[in-house]
Amino acid sequence: MGKRWDEIEREVKVALGKYATKFEVIEDADLLKHGNYEVEAVIFEPKPKMTSLAQGTYESGQMIHAEMAAIEDYASKKKIEDGKFPKGLGLTTSLSPCPRCAIILRIFQKRFGWKVWAPSNAFAKNSSGSYNIPEQVSLVIFKELVENKVVSSDEAVTYKSQISSLIKGFEFVG
């Protein structure tokens, strides 16, 4: 018999909390802003020069943060399937990520060796509004949880919406 939801919920929260860490600070403001947007994220290929591959902006109407919009833009342009992103890309963000984005970006760093730069070594405040996680990003998160034995693949399928809700509502306290 599988684990009950309350057991899974506790284990997922602990696992996600380990990913909620801050990012390397980038001092060069030119690398952080590429448009006239309040909050913006850019995915780039770091070598041989910083070539912009995708970007995203905060879209309150779509409930998507700039970092997730950039990843979604990249996945769409490059026809990413099954959450299989390339290794070694970089992402800059004009505002430090919220704890939810930080968790996801740390997972991308671990799985794909991505570099992430933010303007300060702090978390942006979570808003109480909705939070959208693109499908290809969800696949990456669930693969990480299954491969680290936080949940089984059956539990990931059974509790997909509840686990997604945990991520969407995550707030780092500390």
Question: What is the model's pLDDT at position 19?
Answer: 83
Nearest alpha carbon to residue 35 among 102, 92, 89, 79: 92
Question: Mind listing the pLDDT tens digit for each residue in 18-65?
Answer: 887 767 665 554 555 555 557 889 998 877 777 889 999 987 777 889
Residue 44 pairs in a beta bridge with 52, 90
d(CA 32, CA 39): 10
Note the pLDDT of residue 171.
63
pLDDT class for 126, splitting at 50, 70, 90?
Answer: low
Domain coordinates in residue numbering, the chain: 5-168
Could you tell me the pTM of the whole model?
0.85
* Per-residue model confidence as pLDDT tens digits over 64-100: 899 999 999 999 999 999 999 999 999 988 888 888 8
Question: Has residue 1 got a pLDDT over 50?
Answer: yes
The answer to whether the beta carbons of residues 131 and 100 sit under 8 Å apart is yes
What mean pLDDT is reported for the chain?
Answer: 84
Average pLDDT over residues 157-163: 92
